[in-house]
Amino acid sequence: MTATSHGRARFLWAAVSVVFVETIITGLALAPAVLFLHWQATWPLSTWLRLALASLAFVPVYLACACSLMLYSALATKALGWRTPANVELPLGDFSWPVLNWGRYLMTIHVVRIFAGPAFRSTTIWNWYMRLNGARVGRNVWVNSLSLMDHNLLEFADGVVIGSDAHVSGHVVERGILKTAAVRLDRNTLVGIGSVVGIGVESGADVQVGALSVVPKFAKLEAGGVYVGVPVVRLH
C-alpha cells in the first residue's frame, strides 16, 4: 500500500472507531433514563398520571444522563489515549495517528458540550469534567463558555474567569498544518466576553483581557495588565 492508501485506511478506522465509541458512551448515559421509563410504564396508574410523572421526571433524568455522558466520555478518552499532542506541527492530510487522536478527542468534547454544556457550564460540575478530561483547573475557576477545546493543553490557576463565548484553544490550523501549544492563565486572569486566546498564550496574575479582544498566539501578558483590542495592546 502507498502512503496515501495507509493514510486513508487510518482515517477510515478513526472515523469508525469514534462513531462506535460515541455510540457506546451515549447508550450508557441514556440507559438509566430508558430503564426508568420502562419501569414507570409498569406502574398501576392511569395513562394521564403516568404521562404527568414522566414529564416531571424529564429534568432530573436529563441532568443524570448529562452527568453520565461527561463521566463516560472523559474516562473513555483517557483510556484510549485520545488527546491533543503538545507542541507539534503536523500536516492534516497525512492522517497520522497524533492528528487522528486529536480529531477523535475534539469530537468527544463536541458531543459533551452540545448535550451537557448548556446545563452545566459555569458550574463546578463543568470544571470537574474539564479536569477529568485532561485540563488543569484550579479553585474558584468560572468557565462560562463552551468554546474551549484541547482540554489537556489548558491550565487555569485559581480564580480564572472565562467570559461567555470566549474561545480558548490549544490548536490552530494554518495552511493545512495542525499547530499546538498549551495555554496557561495565572491566578485571577479574566478573559472577557467573546474574546479569542491563541495557542501558547501565557498570562501573569491579575490580568484582564477586554471583551471581543484577540490575544495572538504565544503572547506573554504581564501580571496586572489590562489588555484590549485586535490584537490586544496593554492599556496600563
pLDDT score recorded for residue 1: 59
Q: 113, exposed or middle or buried, with CB in 10 Å at 0-12, 13-18, 19+? A: buried
pLDDT < 70: residue spans in the chain: 1-3
CATH numbers and ranges of domains, the chain: 1-134 (no CATH), 136-236 (2.160.10.10)
pLDDT score recorded for residue 152: 98
Angle ∠(123,80,21) on CA atoms, nearest 5: 75
* Residue-level length of the chain: 236
pLDDT score recorded for residue 100: 96
- Residue type present at position 66: A
pTM, entire model: 0.92
pLDDT score recorded for residue 3: 64
pLDDT score recorded for residue 189: 98
For residue 96 the three cell numbers come to 497520522
pLDDT score recorded for residue 6: 79
pLDDT score recorded for residue 174: 95
